[in-house]
Structure formats: structure tokens, C-alpha cells
Amino acid sequence: RTDSYDTDVLVVGSGPAGGSAALLLATYGIRTLLVTKYGWLANTPRAHITNQRTMEVLRDLGVEAEALAHGSPSHIMGDTVLCTALKGEEIGRIRSWGTGPGSLTEYTSASPCQMIDLPQTYLEPILTTNAAARGAKIRFDTEFLSLTQDEDGVTALLRDRVRGDEFTVRARYLIGADGGRSTVAEQIGLPMDGRMGKAGSMNIVFKADLAQYCAHRPSVLYWVLRPGAATGGIGMGLVRMVRPWNEWLLVWGYDIEQPPPSVDEEEARRIVRDLIGDPDLPVEITSTSLWTVNHTYASAYSSGRVFCMGDAVHRHPPSNGLGSNTSVQDAYNLAWKLAMVIRGEAGPVLLDSYSAERAPVGRQIVERANLSRDQFGPVFETLGVGADSDERAIAEGIAALRAGTAEGAKRRRLLEDAIQLKNYEFNAHGVEMNQRYVSGAVLADDCPAEEWENDPELVARPTTRPGAKLPHAWLVDSNGERVSTLDVVGKGEFTVLTGLSGGVWDAAVASCRDELGISLRSVRVGDDDCRDAYGEWNRVREAAEDGVLLVRPDGYVAWRRDTAPETAPEARDELLGALRRVLGR
Ligand code: FDA
């Protein structure tokens, strides 16, 4: 304890949001205390699809290798199957998560990172143990109860669940990463839109050897059309791989208008065997739980010195696999801002940009995930099945689909359309990558509004426009190894990025460092340690070689200038002006 504060930042919750926030803040050297209600981290493997933007955060934090070691690689993720049971009829398949031939190039060229399947039970320990190793204090069995805040800080009332007593912690800032039933968001009165509890769903975690049904069509998601599949839940029954091919999570719906079902071990085993289609399958039930499908987002993420992130501010079904990903990226957006404000390198106004930048993303993913859930509808319609359809009706639907008649041909065409529509869930690369920030921490230039030649939800579009993430391009370092443009920025620092002929920016960077007292990295693409050997950077930079990009610690472009000004003093004044505005100084 070095002053009247117990910690600089108190993080409530150790899920993907809180764990990332603690790891980022500790990495940036900020005194951080993470408290979490239970004795350990996630005990069920809920989130798993880990997209490229999240992997980029883990890469920047130096923990990407750990994630890759614990996750299942993309090549065994992508053969999403629609079927009547794992042992039953296959309705169709969707090459997913960028593994299909059409999208593979697009995914691999958009990021230095691959998408992986990393269950939450593996992600959370990576975040929290590294946060602790880097100096964050982690306190389990500690429940947040309430808070008060004033001009200088936040006082939180906590309960030690081991001893049972209550105590207070004084922090400069508090992060509420306490999930979908967030007490913090409620206490600071964040405005919430939408609706909670619109459908009922259950998770059944189980162990069973399903290699014979899966190894030849490797996927993380097997969607199952059994009687009742259209009731509640997330679109269809789902058998989801946790570990290939013997650990699983099954998602099945229930009618929210009825009392919640009681799912004992016997009932859980029955549901598992039903969706697999094997009444004698040896199944070991690990756990069962009920949850509801929500459609809720906050239109503001902070109040005073308290900031919320993750499911606390966006609540939606797991469709598209966006929840944990968005939570990690919320933390990536806020952590560097808090660090710079706490160190006195930025004005507190910088923190306003968190809500301005992340609330629109939260709203978009809530809408998208809910729409994806509904977009199973056309599959049901093509097969002529509905909420009340029994086994016979489903069998008739499949038979009609297979008929060698004009009507059968028509159904097959419709099914193809229905399956193509699911690209918005399983290949929504644009949803994952195309965030554009508009806020005080981004200085828009005067170029015309962005034009989207492709569907912005499906296709990632790299750009160096202010507010977009720096495009990935492979460079080559002095050892001849590939490094990404994303590897030469980040790590908690602003970067000034130009080309070999942009020498005028060198002196400007040195002068801004002195003037503002911040660390500011200078990168000249073309230097020995980052040669544009493949010409990839040249193709995406959208500016002249001597132009400049001011890249934030989270890799987003804050400011750009297409060409260098005539003189060094002009370059200095412009860069300094840009930094002052972005940092609120
Ligand atoms: P999360 O709920 O994970 O964590 C909240 C934390 O706060 C916990 O540590 C809790 O103990 C703590 N806490 C709560 N109240 C507290 C209090 N009063 N005091 C102290 N601590 C408190 N997402 C994704 O990106 N990809 C995917 O593939 C999937 N798949 C998926 C499948 C299924 C079946 C589900 C149900 C969900 C998903 N998700 C997902 C969503 C994902 O699980 C979810 O969005 C994240 O867990 C949200 O992370 P948070 O850290 O915000 O909250």
C-alpha cells in the first residue's frame, strides 16, 4: 500500500472480461486487485470459439502460445453438421470459421493469428495465473456487495466468504466484470435496452466416446433436429465438442412459459442419448444447469469511476461465439486508457471513449447473436417441421427433401439457401473483425465515408482509417523471420508507424516523448528489423510511404496523415497536436 488507495483498479469478476482486464493492467504495471465470488475459475466450459481479434490480444500479451497449446486448432473446428441425430441422417454441412476453401485465404490473410477452440475452463486459468504472475492480487471467495464513489475514488464493500466478514477496499477505479447478473451495473444504474429471459436453455456437460460419429467430419458444433428442437434453446439442439472426441456440452431448450424442468442425471443421460441417437451409449454426466437466452445491451458502459464490461453490459445467446471474445476485447479497449490516466499520461476524458467505442459493438453483437439464433427458421421451414413436430414428421420432412421429384429439387434448393444464411453465424468474419471506433480517442480524417464492396458482416475489410484496427501484413525481421505489423505495435505503448522515406517523423517522435513524458515507439517499415519483403504492407497501407499512422496501444489507428509535411517542425506540431487531442491533454 503506497498511498491512501488499497489498489489502483479493483476488478470484480474473474471471467474472460475480468481475467483479461487484470492481466492487461498487471502487464502495464498498474496495481490491480481482482476479486471473485467463488473458490476457483469457470467450472463449466461455456465459451470456446476464440476468434482472431481475441487471439491478437493474447498474442500482444505474450500468452498466445499457451492458448494454442490448450486449444483445439482451427482445422478440427470447421465441419459444422446439421443432422437428425449424430447417428442419424445428415441434413447438411457448413464449412465454418474460415476453414472452407472460399474463406481460408481471407481468414489467414486478415490476422497473424488463427481461430481456435479454447473452452472457458482453459482460457480463464491462462488469464488469471498470468495476471497473478505479473503482479495482480487475486482474491477468491470474495463477493462484491456494494460501492460508493466520490471525486477521487471508489470504495467497495466486499464479503470474505471464507471468514464471513465484510470489509472495504478503496480504489481509484472499479471494473464491474461480474457477468450477466451484474450487481455493479445495476448499482451504478447503467441504462439497459432489450429483454432478458426470452427463451429457456439447458447445458449438459458429459463424457462419452463419440469418435465414430465425429472424427470423419471434425467440428466443434453438431446441430440436431429432434422433436422439441425448435422450442427455446439456441435454434436447434446442439452437441458441442469440448475435447475431441470424448468431452462434450449439450445445449437443449425448454419452454420458458412453463416451470423450469428438473434435469436429474437420468433425464440428462436420456437427452444425450436421444440427440446422439444411440440408446445404449455409455455416458458420464458431469453437470447440468439451466440458463436463459437474453437480448440486452447497455447504451453506456460507465458511470464516474466505475466501468462495466463483458456480459455485464451485453447479454445474448452463444450463437456466433461472440460473448467471451467481446469481453476480452472490451478489456483490451479500457486497460491501456486506465493505465495512462492513472500514470498521469492522459486526461480522464480519455476514459469517456471506452463507452463511446465499445457500446455500439456490444449492441451489434447482441443483435447479431439473436438474429443468428432465429435464422435456423428457414431450415425448419424447408423440412416442413415446427415446434410440435414429432419423429415421424421429421422423417417425412427428410424423405421429402430426398425425393427425386421437382418438389424434392425445389426443397433442396431452398435448403441450400437456408444453409447459406448460416454463414452469418459460422463465417461472420466481418462481425468478428470490422469494428470501427468513433470517439474522442480517434481523429477522423477528411476521407469520404467508408465504402463496403462486400457484406460488412461476412467479409473483413482491412483499412488504415482512424478508428479501425491496424491491418495485418507480414513483414520480415533481421533474422529473416516473419513478424506481423500487429507485432510491432501494442504492448501498452503508442506507436508512430511510417516508411523508410518518412524520416521526418523520427525527430517528431523524440520531441513528443520529451514533451508529453510518455513512451512512444517509432517504427519505420523497411528498416532491417521490419522489411516489407512481400509488399503486403504496401498493398494495405492506403497512404504514401512517408505518411504516418499513430497507432494506439490496442492496435487501433488514432490518427493518420497521408504524406509527410515539408518540415520537421510541422511534423512535430502535427504529431504533438494529435497526441494531445487523443490523450485529452
Ligand atoms: P462471466 O459470467 O464469465 O464471469 C463473471 C465473473 O464474475 C465470474 O467470475 C463470477 O464468479 C464473478 N462474479 C459475479 N458476481 C460477483 C460478485 N457479486 N462478486 C464477485 N464476483 C462476482 N462466448 C464466446 O465468445 N464464444 C463461445 O463460443 C461461447 N459459447 C458459449 C456457449 C454457452 C453454452 C454459453 C452459455 C455461453 C457461451 N459464450 C461464448 C458466452 C460466454 O460464456 C460469456 O459471454 C462470457 O463468459 C462472459 O464473460 P464475463 O467475464 O463477462 O462474465
pLDDT mean across residues, the chain: 96
Question: Residue 54: CB within 6 Å of ligand 1?
Answer: no
Q: pLDDT tens-digit profile of 329-344? A: 999 999 999 999 999 9
Q: pLDDT tens-digit profile of 496-552? A: 999 999 999 999 999 999 999 999 999 999 999 999 999 999 999 999 999 999 999
Q: pLDDT tens-digit profile of 241-298? A: 999 999 999 999 999 999 999 999 999 999 999 999 999 999 999 999 999 999 999 9
Sequence ranges of the domains in the chain: 7-72+118-190+301-358, 377-421, 436-583
The alpha carbon of 6 and the centre of ligand 1 are apart by a number of angstroms equal to 27
Question: Residue 15: CB within 6 Å of ligand 1?
Answer: yes
Question: Residue 203: CB within 6 Å of ligand 1?
Answer: yes
Q: Residues 37-41: what's their mean pLDDT?
A: 98
Question: Residue 143: CB within 6 Å of ligand 1?
Answer: yes
The alpha carbon of 448 and the centre of ligand 1 are apart by a number of angstroms equal to 39
The alpha carbon of 324 and the centre of ligand 1 are apart by a number of angstroms equal to 7
Beta strands in 272-380 (DSSP E): 284-298, 302-303, 306-308, 314-315
pTM of the model: 0.98
Question: Residue 183: CB within 6 Å of ligand 1?
Answer: yes
Coil, helix or strand for 111? coil
The alpha carbon of 200 and the centre of ligand 1 are apart by a number of angstroms equal to 17
Does the pLDDT value for residue 1 go beyond 70?
A: no
Burial category of 2 from C-beta neighbours within 10 Å (exposed 0-12, middle 13-18, buried 19 and up): exposed
Question: Residue 144: CB within 6 Å of ligand 1?
Answer: yes
Q: pLDDT tens-digit profile of 80-119? A: 999 999 999 999 999 999 999 989 999 999 999 999 999 9
**pLDDT at residue number 386:** 84
Q: Angle formed by the axes of helices 52-60 and 323-342, to 10°? A: 40
Question: Residue 12: CB within 6 Å of ligand 1?
Answer: yes
Residue identifier of the C-alpha nearest atom 47 of ligand 1: 324
End-to-end, the C-alpha distance of the chain in Å comes to 29
Question: Residue 555: CB within 6 Å of ligand 1?
Answer: no
Q: What percent of the chain has pLDDT over 70?
A: 100
Does the pLDDT value for residue 570 go beyond 90?
A: yes
Question: Residue 49: CB within 6 Å of ligand 1?
Answer: yes
Of the candidates 228, 428, 401, the residue with the CA atom closest to the CA atom of residue 326:
428
Question: Residue 21: CB within 6 Å of ligand 1?
Answer: no
Chain-centroid distance, C-alpha 423: 18
**pLDDT at residue number 55:** 98
Q: What is the dihedral of CA 551, 556, 558, 561, to 10 degrees?
A: 70
- For 7-72+118-190+301-358, CATH number out of 3.40.50.800, 3.30.465.10, 3.50.50.60, 3.90.245.10 equals 3.50.50.60
Q: Residues 212-217: what's their mean pLDDT?
A: 97
Residue identifier of the C-alpha nearest atom 53 of ligand 1: 179
Mutation probe of ligand 1 site: the residue of 35, 37, 292 with most atoms within 8 A of C-beta: 37
Does the pLDDT value for residue 146 go beyond 70?
A: yes
The domain made up of 436-583 has a fold known as Glutaredoxin (3.40.30)
**pLDDT at residue number 2:** 52
